[in-house]
Amino acid sequence: MSKLIAFLLLVAGTIHLLPVVGVLGGERLNALYGLALDEPNLQILMRHRAVLFGLLGALLVAAAFVPTLRSAAMLAGLVSVLAFLLLAWSAPVYNEALRRVVVADWIALACLIPASLLHLRNH
């Protein structure tokens, strides 16, 4: 069971690490989200968002190898994914790039829910 939980956390962690390239600047952010993020203040906020995703992704990956981190990592991952999916669901429309993010978050959710249930069952 522990190896399956670790695998699921690695998948979710990798998904959360992908946006970290946005920290490199506006061109990367534009490619990630299909938006013209030319306003400097918005770029700062989005680059900071990339850093936060890096932290969450690193926590999820670390939790794959350090079982004592799993509860916190899974809770943080679930909150992040569910919040984004609810925000996307509440929006009337979004672009193709964000649709890919929604799909990725559904995959992350499909990993985090069984990982969390297996983790709870073992403890």
pLDDT of residue 48: 94
Give the pLDDT band of residue 49 (cuts 50, 70, 90). very high
Query: Across residues 89-106, what is the average pLDDT?
Result: 94
The mean pLDDT of the chain is 94
- Specify whether the CB–CB gap between 28 and 40 falls below 8 A: no
Average pLDDT rounded to a whole number, residues 91-118: 95
pTM of the predicted structure, to 2 decimals: 0.92
Please state, in angstroms and rounded to a whole number, the distance separating the CA atoms of residues 99 and 82: 15
What tokens does 41 get? 């203040």
**Cα 56 to Cα 79: distance, rounded to the nearest angstrom:** 11
**How much is the average pLDDT of 66-75?**
98
